A and B are shown apart, each in its own frame.
Chain A
């Protein structure tokens, strides 16, 4: 049965399969439940007890022990949708979300694709064709060389001459890329070859396509992106910007809205450029047009992400629009239902990505069991997460554990709220970047709103590592906790009535005696 809000929809649906895992699968499945839809999860063997499976109304196992046979297996996922009678599919982000051929296969199977048309994904997904289209449409692009350097071909000659034309420092980018994978900066010619090979290799591994191109590296630039929302009736609006300048190795770390670097004239111009970009590919659904904002206020098209974005919550918090619900609505053929003039930007929102990684050893991913997981809560605090206490963090999947999002009346209030929420976020058993986030957030450059995309990579790590741990104090707590047996679950009532105090489950007595 289709939900009542869809009664006027040209393409109603009632059961949505979410072809993803982790926090975004949880987010979409939750939204589906709220929308009165039946939510179906897919999962791999090692995800069988994951949170997204628990939240789904139904779930289907994808057999196999690698990504290609599970979350990247288009045939198996479409077959799962068919088998359980799902009439719509939401791809989330990552995995198959930006594979045009997958979007086509889904539609060909008679399943509604909750995303943009396959042609739009294809044009924007190939960074080289996207650049050409933007130039045609009058959207400014970064100076660069669009001569594709094909993998396997004799690459060094064309590469070196393209590089010389663009000039150093430059950026090698995967044409099929995203999320910082397959992207390398080159500061001088002698590093060109190694960085090119690394970029092509990463691009091949991550996207199955090692084609790269070269762009001028703009220094001291900010990353500002515009959220767009388009319907199949020709309606297109933008929901203002997100500033994602705080990045490490091109991976976003902290995102906020509004951007501290935009004035209303630039905001409006950027918003219009984003809508132009979306219209140029007949976009439908929620999408993001990314720009680099140079220090002199010029902005350049970077790429368009044809899917829901990791950092979409900061726009939801400031605009009051539920983007996943809107994806459902426009996919069913309904209009966006919001006029550009009705779009508001209320207060300030910041998101911090909580990663299982160790800032103390080069941000390598960390693994282990989340022996304690206590997310913060309170007014203006939102946690989007795909894990819970007791879950195992492995290297099989992306190391992002959660997104911590805050909303407050002003930027300063939002920073203080986020700092407090990060301090209250108790994650034990796996190393995280929480302390690093606290330090980045309280760095003068971030407080003043002046960070550019090079900030984290160019700042001395000692400025972001915080105070030395108080070793004796911590050792005293750990040793005492061990003696008191504080790791144990409370013993069951029958065996633990304490003969001294008479209290049931008194941990003082029963546990002390187990220690030599």
Chain B
């Protein structure tokens, strides 16, 4: 089992030890490198979706919930999504050069052609959803290797719209 935190790029592995109904995570490694973060232990507080987290002798409450392949954690006033992956599975969608639809909608305009070179952040597609136009930009610089849809097509969330090569 590997983990990734949304908003970050690394992959984590965690070794869990159990004692007295509490789970300690140690050690934790990111992309194969072991991290020294001290001992973090977690125990339920008896109500669903709540966990007591202990770090460096102090405890705090976290709210946790699972949805699909993600765990959502609210701690220190912020919510985070943490995904779990089968060992060795491919990385999150943005890293492999394909651009997926972040939500269902209709393609209003394609701003690039196959073979065109684009810079990072350049607008590629205008997608309409919820009556608003959203510009989708290139996650990295490169050459457009494939356009999967035409203007006017409806796309589902997660559909691969465009592939960008190096």
Contact = CB atoms under 8 A, between A and B. Distances in A.
Nearest to B6: A360
A-B complex: 7 closest residue pairs judged by Cβ atoms: A423-B77, A508-B21, A476-B25, A480-B42, A487-B66, A428-B72, A478-B71
Contacts of B108: 201
Contacts of A490: 48
Given A362-B135, A472-B12, A484-B51, A432 B79 contact: yes
Interface in B31-45: 35, 37, 40-44
A5 interface: no
A22 B56 CA distance: 44
B6 A507 contact: no
A368 B67 contact: yes
Interface of B: 1, 3, 5-8, 10, 12, 14, 16, 18, 21, 23-25, 28, 30, 35, 37, 40-44, 46, 48-51, 53, 55, 62-67, 71-75, 77-82, 84, 102-105, 108, 126, 128-137, 157
Interface stretch (A134-142, A307-315, A369-377): A369-377
26 contacts: A181-B131, A201-B108, A362-B136, A364-B103, A367-B157, A374-B63, A398-B130, A427-B74, A428-B63, A428-B67, A428-B73, A429-B67, A438-B77, A468-B7, A468-B8, A471-B30, A475-B28, A476-B37, A477-B71, A478-B82, A479-B14, A480-B16, A481-B42, A481-B66, A484-B23, A508-B21
A249 to B, nearest CB: 9
A486 B74 contact: no
Contacts of A360: 6-7
Contacts of A483: 16, 18, 23
Given A395-B104, A398-B130, A482-B66, A435 B78 contact: yes
Contacts of B41: 480
Contacts of A508: 21, 43-44
Contacts of A468: 7-8
Given A181-B131, A472-B30, 15 more contacts: A198-B133, A372-B49, A374-B63, A395-B129, A399-B130, A426-B79, A469-B8, A473-B40, A477-B62, A477-B73, A479-B3, A479-B16, A486-B44, A486-B49, A487-B71
A480 B77 contact: no
B8 to A, nearest CB: 5
A431 B77 CA distance: 14
B122 to A, nearest CB: 13
A194 B131 CA distance: 18
Interface of A: 181, 198, 201-202, 205-206, 358, 360-362, 364-369, 371-372, 374, 395, 397-399, 422-424, 426-429, 431-432, 434-435, 438, 466, 468-469, 471-484, 486-490, 507-509, 512
A395 B103 contact: yes
Contacts of B133: 198, 201-202
A363 B132 CA distance: 12
A481 B102 CA distance: 28
A365 B7 contact: no
Given A181-B131, A365-B103, A372 B72 contact: yes
A361 B77 CA distance: 21
B83 to A, nearest CB: 9
A336 B66 CA distance: 51
Given A372-B65, A423-B77, A469-B5, A429 B72 contact: yes
A426 B82 contact: no
